[in-house]
Chains A and B, each alone.
Chain A
Amino acid sequence: MKLGPVDMENLPDSVPEAKSRLVRDLSRADSRELLAVSWVKAQPALTAFLVASTPQFSDAEDLLQEVAAEVARRFDDYDLSRPFLPWALWVAKIKIANFYRARERSPVKFIGDSIDALGEACERVQAVLSEEKWALEKCLTSLTGRSRQLLQLRYFEDLTPQEMSGRLEMTPGAVRIALLRIRSALISCIRSTLAGAPTSHG
């Protein structure tokens, strides 16, 4: 799918279903609770999807707010017989397209061409993200001070490897390689942690 201009208001509210049951059929209290629960479950995956689409964190966070608002606004039209995440991803894709349209920029080419494949991966992966998070928290405790500092600069201060290099007296390339190795080590650790204790954390 190419990300072209999309008019949110002119899109169908939901895919036609022979026997759909919409949220608007629920009581207000049930509807609000369902939205809260569904959003909390989907938010990590949606955040990752938006971060991939707009690597500037502040843009992704702004987009997440817009997606949240749109999901809430259209929630009455959500078909209960369908999973929530794909529906929310549909909203997210529209918001991403509008984001680039408003800025008169083309989407990052890699994301524009891969967005559907990544959206499908997002749906597949969502179910295990809570396990991943648990394992990741354990793995983060084993980081060395230097790794912590690199992550702090990259994710807390939002510096690019180029900007980090000035702080650390390293070349940008060395910073990129260091970040690559930290991430790869964390993913290896997550896998070994999950393999060793698949259900112990409840």
Chain B
Amino acid sequence: MDDAEAIELIDAHLDRQPLTDEQADALTAWIKADPKRADEAFYRIFLHSYLRVRLQAGILPGASDLSVLNDSRLDALTRGHAALMVDGLSVPIQKKRFGRRTALIVFIACSLVVGVVGWVGWSISSVVSKSALNKVYAYEGFDYPATVLPKAEKQDFQWPTSGGLQGLAGGLGWSEPWQETNSKVAVIVDYAKQEVPWEPKDMRKFGPLGYTDSRGNVLQSLGHQLRTATSPRSITTRRFNISAFPDSMQGEGGLGRDGSVIWFSFLAQSSLSTADNNRYSYLVIGTKSMAGLRVGKLGATPSGNWTAAGLLTGAEVNLRSSTVPSGEVVLLVTRIVFRPGPEDAVVWINPPLDAEPSPTAAAMRLPVPDFRFVGISIHANHSTDFDEIRFGGTFQSVAPIR
């Protein structure tokens, strides 16, 4: 067997074309004959594997970014000049969402896509109206009175073990009040009216959480903010009202049907930047025992920088860390594209608010093991503030400008 024939058989195998026993034997003999040939075979396999990962993550370089799902896909269809539409080949792009065209154009374009493309999840998402997508499906601004903390000298101060967020039921898009499920509780803090015994290194003494982008756009924010407990920890959870989300996002096991795209954002700041001694404070969706996504400060990143990690049967996987210290106030915006197999999560830190940011500007991007979710939890063993939690179908829905 010559090299060209071997490569052809490897490609055939990778393209799911069964090899005959004779072909498999000949190919095996070719690979085993020389380590250089085995390396050649592996390079070919790696190319194939990388192209799969690359194409699933976004459009190829040199063209518009496929992962900016809003508008550009339909624009491509209606204008017919996107990178994937060249050379006279008229196969439409598969994933799509909503253009800025008229409702009629959107309908026609979506119908074209639905008619030609067979991926049911994406097809279903195309019939959700733009206004529905731009709506925030769940929101919590922690617009509650500040928790009354026990008055005591600093050395005698005891963090509350009851009350806190327990039973608070504001915001929208939730099916039940907040639940405190660990030994300490998270509390509501109001820096304007509350005298806070700041530690010398506590970064939060410079002001409440808020975000203004580099162009002067201000994120809408309301009310007070949540502060997590320390020593040992607080776990504060709340379930979504699933029916507040579009049908296209709902699936067996909760939100995150394959083909749907969910955005979420929140403000956060830790009291200290480092994660020494396994300090953590993060928001999690999904479950630790099965699969999910953590975004925040994780003990696995001792620098303490803002981090994201997938979860799989109790372990963090595909951990990505940013260069931004957790002692800095940040707006973390996450987009999850739910796909067959691993989900694609992209996290931006402090993006400009006036347009959907490009994935190339993201702070972190990671594959997340296939998961669904029904609520959120905020876990912390270390004092961190969270605020303005939003879940929606578009960037604009989770990053509204004041």
Contacts and interface: CB of A to CB of B under 8 A. Distances in A.
A148 interface: yes
A47 interface: yes
A157 B91 CA distance: 12
Given A72-B317, A149-B84, A125 B43 contact: yes
Contacts of A47: 49, 53
Contacts of B68: none
Contact of B28 (A114, A146, A152, A157): A114
A13 interface: no
Contacts, number: 221
B84 A45 contact: no
Contacts of B25: 109, 113
A63 to B, nearest CB: 11
Nearest to A157: B94
A72 B21 contact: no
A69, A73, A125, A148 — which one has the most chain B CB atoms within 10 A of its CB?
A: A148
Given A61-B341, A68-B312, A129 B46 contact: yes
Interface in A6-30: 28-29
Given A57-B341, A69-B312, A121-B38, A168 B14 contact: no
A55 B51 contact: no
Contact of A148 (B42, B47, B60): B60
A56 B52 CA distance: 11
A186 B56 CA distance: 18
Contacts of A111: 13
Interface stretch (B148-156, B181-189, B194-202, B298-306): B298-306
Interface string A31-75: 011011001100111011101100111101110110011001100
Contact of B300 (A33, A44, A161, A186): A33
B31 A183 contact: no
Given A108-B13, A160-B16, A29 B41 contact: no
B31 A140 contact: no
A152 B302 CA distance: 39
Contact of B62 (A29, A57, A121, A143): A143
Interface in A143-202: 143-146, 148-149, 151-157, 160-161, 167-168, 176, 179-180, 183-184, 186-187
Interface string B9-46: 10111111111010111011001100100110111111
Contacts of A122: 42
A201 B85 CA distance: 32
Contacts of A61: 341-342
A157 B25 CA distance: 31
B192 interface: no
Interface of A: 28-29, 32-33, 35-36, 39-40, 43-45, 47-49, 51-52, 55-58, 60-62, 64-65, 68-69, 72-73, 108-111, 113-114, 117-118, 120-122, 124-125, 129, 132-133, 136-137, 140-146, 148-149, 151-157, 160-161, 167-168, 176, 179-180, 183-184, 186-187
Given A149-B91, A160-B15, A113 B62 contact: no
Interface in B59-116: 60-63, 83-87, 89, 91, 93-94
A60 B84 CA distance: 27
Interface string B284-308: 0000000100000001111000000
Contacts of B52: 51, 57, 155
Contacts of A117: 31-32, 35, 38
B94 A29 contact: no
Nearest to B320: A40
B8 interface: yes
B48 A168 contact: no
Nearest to B302: A29
Nearest to B30: A114
A132 B46 contact: yes
